[in-house]
Amino acid sequence: MKYKKRKTLRNIILASVITIAVLALVVCLNDFEDTIDVLRQANGNYIWFSIIFVIAYFILYPIPLCILTKHIHKKAKFWRIYLIGTTEHFFNDITPFATGGQPFQAYAMKKTGVPVRKSTGILLMNYIVFMLVTNTFAVISLYYYRQFTQNISNLTWIVIIGFSINFLVLVLFFVMAYSRHFRDASIRLILKITRNKKKIKEKGEKEALRVGEYFSSAQNAAQELLKSPLLFISTFLIKAVTMAIYYAVPFFIIMAMVANLQPDYLAQCNQYIFYIMAATSFASTIVVWVPTPGASGGIEFAFQKIFSTVPGVTGAIAMSSMLIWRLITYYGVAILSCFGYFISERVSAKLDLKYNSEEAEEKEESSHNELTPEEQQKLLEYNKKIRENEEKLRKIVKRGKKND
């Protein structure tokens, strides 16, 4: 069964229309002729460098997910999880607030034999590592705050909102991953809201159990991450290198724009690579609250204004750079990710893997003879923790019923 094919197609059309409309509006509000003139004189070699960096970013991006999955679910196939990891950009780019990637990945991972209660925890840990990396880059970018804001009036509140949301999301996911009190409070809140409404009371109880199971799976995965410092360090470093490559892409694009227009300035441009990387992180962070797919509208404005602060970069160069950057990092990556989605779905259909979480667990438990004694013991302890958490959740729900 294909993953919500109609909804996916509708989101693709919506995201494309919004992005094209925003780009057209931004270009119309600026000097169109100057922008075209800069694009015509762009140096193709540097454009190819930027494309290579984008491809390197795309190749490295799914690796931390593969490492986390293989650590928690030994029988997962690296290449299948890698293909699933490549789909994240496509579903994030066509959904508001970039929320579509993880739900599809959980669905796809289930088809490969990874139980949902494990995949949800794995995906949450992967997202936390991503947020730690991006927040680290964002904090570093504040070193250039005065330079970034010199061309934009009243930017302070936008910066505060963007950085606050980015940081609070990280804190929220940390709490979800490590606080059992938060889990229990969430269950009680759902039961309290639904207890006086007969029609949704039963549904509320099921939802409370589902939420509790999600928290439990996330917390079990988080404990695995804490137990293995090497696992955390390796995933963090790989993601940090991946994002550094992504943040460096505008440097080569700007070099392409100024290479033929300002040959004398080109030699000085190398000293601004860290400034440009920080500017990319800063621009991406301050628009996280924009609800449109790909933050369309906000990211174009932020990029153009902030990159105009790079010495030697005129408004036309900043505009031209933004158009190329948006083309290869948004549309280019989305197209590559879309190919990853089609290949992943094709492979799943060919192998006819239709697992559910219970079947996957039974198969895993029946294959102990393929594991070493140490791995068998770890697996038994992990499954025991899951069963204990499920029993605790049922008791919490029962107590909620009695209080009614």
The pLDDT tens digits of the residues spanning 61-78 come to 999 999 999 888 888 888
Which positions ≥6 away from 13 have C-beta within 8 Å? Answer: none
Q: Report whether 389 contacts 216 (CB < 8 A).
A: yes
Six-digit token string for 70:
């293989």
CA distance 84 to 62: 8
* Residue in 359, 308, 299 with CA at minimum distance from that of residue 114: 359
Terminal alpha carbon distance of the chain: 41
C-alpha torsion angle, residues 286, 288, 290, 291 (rounded to 10) = 180
CA distance 302 to 294: 13
**Residue 64's pLDDT is what?**
94
Q: Report whether 388 contacts 182 (CB < 8 A).
A: no
Dihedral sign, Cα of residue 339, residue 245, residue 47, residue 314: positive
User: Where along the chain do its domains lie?
Assistant: 5-403
**Residue 357's pLDDT is what?**
47
The pLDDT tens digits of the residues spanning 285-314 come to 888 777 666 556 567 778 878 888 887 788
Alpha carbon 400 to chain centroid distance? Answer: 35
Dihedral sign, Cα of residue 244, residue 247, residue 251, residue 257: positive
* Residue in 335, 325, 323, 324 with CA at minimum distance from that of residue 23: 323
**Residue 393's pLDDT is what?**
61
**Residue 369's pLDDT is what?**
47
| pTM: predicted TM-score of the whole model, two decimal places | 0.76
The pLDDT tens digits of the residues spanning 263-286 come to 666 666 777 889 999 999 998 888
What is the average pLDDT value for the chain, to the nearest integer? 76
Positions in the chain short of pLDDT 70: 1-35, 96-100, 151-153, 190-209, 211, 260-268, 291-298, 349-404
What are the backbone angles phi and psi of residue 183, rounded to the nearest 5°?
A: -60, -50
